[in-house]
Amino acid sequence: MNENIYEFIVKETVRYTVNMKNMHDFILTVEEVKVFVRFLLFAGYHKLPAEKLHWSEDVDVGTPIIKTAMSRNKYQKLKTLLHFQDNDLSNENKHNRIFEENLSIDKLIVKYYGRSGLKQFIPGRPIRFGYKLWSLCGASGYCFKFDLHCGKDPEDTTRDDLLLGSRVVLNMLDCIEKPENHCVYFDNFFTSRDLLIHQRNLGFRATGTVRGNRVGDCLLLSSNELKKTVRGYYDYQRMRNGEVLFV
């Protein structure tokens, strides 16, 4: 974080405080923002039962370096007011989400042990109990979209001819405005011959592992036949139009 970033945070925080909170006497400096960030880093490894205890007068919990750097009231006020962009500008561009070029669709589990009709048990996984979510993520790991798996949607009758995995992929990607700008990846739960053809027709570039019973008329050598070949041998088939390749 260079000086320009700190100055930008100061400018947007003051803008937000004055315009949205009507606090015209609010003053903030770059050094105060730096101290605030340093406190967050420090508190990340110096754990206390409650944040306010850093300013405690008790010798067993109080943190002198924190108390001398910034008052508790100043810290708490800055914590509620800190801002990183112009709200008016963000409202104008709220629909202009910038997606990464490489996107992945997969399922993820949010750990939950309480009682819920949506909780699932998935044996053999690191998290066995929890909520299943479908997710659209970028190569950086950022999640752009997710959807809670609630079973079959009785209102979704437009794609009954597709497998569940294929419907999930189409639902996750319906927010992409320019398919030709993206490569999409998924595993064999989602991949099928029909899905790849449909993705190609939409303009997406898609890659995925596939189960042997989902390749349609693109028949490849069986596993038993491949075992008889030399190490590294592979078989492939192209669709008639040459735009979908199975290996």
Render pLDDT for 26-67 as a digit per residue (tens, 0 to 9). Answer: 999 999 999 999 999 999 889 899 999 999 999 899 999 999
The CA-based dihedral angle spanning residues 80, 81, 87, 88, taken in that order and rounded to the nearest 10 degrees: 130
Provide mean pLDDT across the span 110-116.
Answer: 87
Cβ burial, residue 98 (10 Å; 0-12/13-18/19+): exposed
Amino acid 161: pLDDT: 61
- pLDDT band for position 94 (cuts 50, 70, 90): low
β-strand 183-186 against 102-111: which pairing, if any? parallel
Kindly report, residue by residue over 136-178, the tens digit of the pLDDT. Answer: 999 998 999 999 887 666 555 555 567 888 889 999 999 898 9
- Residue span(s) of the chain under CATH 3.30.420 come to 102-207
**CATH fold for the domain made of 102-207:** Nucleotidyltransferase; domain 5 (3.30.420)
